[in-house]
Amino acid sequence: MASYPGYLAKLKGGRLKKIALELMELLKDCTVCPHHCHVNRQKGEKGFCRAGLEVEIGGYGPHFGEEPPLVGRGGSGTIFFSHCNLGCVFCQNYEISRGWESEKVSLDKLARIMLALQERGCHNINLVTPSHYVPQIVAALAMAAEQGLRLPLVYNCGGYEEISTLKALEGIIDIYMPDFKYADADVGRRLSKVPDYPQVAKEALKEMHRQVGDLELDEKGIAKRGLIIRHLVLPGGLASTKEVLEFIAREISPYSYINVMGQYYPAGEAQRYPPLTRRITREEYKEALRLAHEVSPHFRLAE
């Protein structure tokens, strides 16, 4: 594993701390994500995501169920952040995204969690649903890096990202791992409660790829830098899988590393939104894989 993640260069001269302070200022009139709620989170006001100033997490630890290049032998060091800037009715981590399972942690404790995951032999720090806590994460990262953190950072998000926030993260995040959920804005509006999901996600993926490029592995097959894209196949073609894959091949890279996920199951409020009331069929998943091979024979598909 590369021993020099990007954020270490910004640690020199106090640049990482300066970026953290600049991002923390955004919380006074919050525009951290595309909702632009303009609430003062530094005073405890809450917008769409329902997150305030204090970081809340649903848990952390080595994770062995992620993509193989993240897991290796030591696992991916996941930190599950509570709340979310999407309102997906079928969320597979519904209790965490709604804030029902949460523990408030100080920035110092968040830094110590990162260091503890490194001590346990994890290959990376996997920030799960970090979008609404970017300022606090960077502040904690600066503290952890000063104390010896040397693992690459994985930004594991739903794809609904503010471009200016992503640009502030350039050189800090080593591996971006966004979802690309839908190609149809009406579906995104109904199922994730945002008006412009495809438009925002497309621009976000372009920016992420501009920063880190296609996925790069070390000699042991462990991810060190690049873009991993997740796409969850939904029942009844709701995810517009063909259109999603065509966009990736055409405007991101025909060599993209993609996880076409077949594990959908009805969770959260899914029972109220047919056909989300059922799992996908074997045929639906096979068709999604066939489309991936057809759209680009150079795609690297997660196993």
The pLDDT tens digits for 14-26 are 999 999 999 999 9
- As a whole number, the mean pLDDT across the chain is 96
Length in residues, the chain: 303
Locate tokens 């690049």: which residue?
226
What is the share, in percent, of the chain residues with pLDDT greater than 70?
Answer: 99
Which tokens belong to 98? Answer: 């709604």
pLDDT at 2: 42
Binning the chain into helix, strand and coil, the percentages to the nearest 5 are: 40, 15, 40
Task: For residue 194, give its domain range.
Answer: 7-301
Residue 218 and residue 241: Cα distance in Å, rounded? 30
- Model confidence over 209-258: pLDDT tens digits? 999 999 999 999 999 999 999 999 999 999 999 999 999 999 999 999 99
1 lies in some domain: no
176 lies in some domain: yes
More confident of the two residues 4 and 167:
167
Phi and psi dihedrals of 56, rounded to 5?
-120, 135
Residue 115 and residue 145: Cα distance in Å, rounded? 9
- Model confidence over 67-93: pLDDT tens digits? 999 999 999 999 999 999 999 999 988
236 lies in some domain: yes
pLDDT at 294: 98
pLDDT at 1: 38
- Model confidence over 149-195: pLDDT tens digits? 999 999 999 999 999 999 999 999 999 999 999 999 999 999 999 99
107 lies in some domain: yes
Closest CA to 164 of 35, 33, 41: 33
Q: What is the 8-class DSSP label of residue 279?
A: P
Q: Binning pLDDT at 50, 70 and 90, where does residue 5 land?
A: very high
217 lies in some domain: yes
pLDDT at 178: 98
Predicted TM-score of the model (pTM): 0.97
pLDDT at 281: 97
Measure the N-to-C terminal CA separation of the chain; round to a whole number of Å.
21
Q: Please provide the DSSP assignment of 9-62 as one string.
A: HHHGGGHHHHHHHHHHHHGGG--SSTT-----GGGT---TT---SSEEEEEEEE
Contact 132, 26 (CB under 8 A): no
55-63 and 153-157 beta bridge pairing:
unpaired
pLDDT at 100: 85
2 lies in some domain: no
Distance of CA 87 to the CA centre of its chain: 15
Domain count, the chain: 1
Phi and psi dihedrals of 62, rounded to 5?
-65, 135
153 lies in some domain: yes
**In this structure, what CATH number is given to the domain that contains residue 50?**
3.20.20.70
Contact 258, 248 (CB under 8 A): yes
For residue 142, give the 3-state DSSP assignment.
helix
* Burial zone of 161 (CB within 10 Å; 0-12 exposed, 13-18 middle, 19+ buried): buried
Is the pLDDT assigned to residue 43 strictly greater than 90?
A: yes
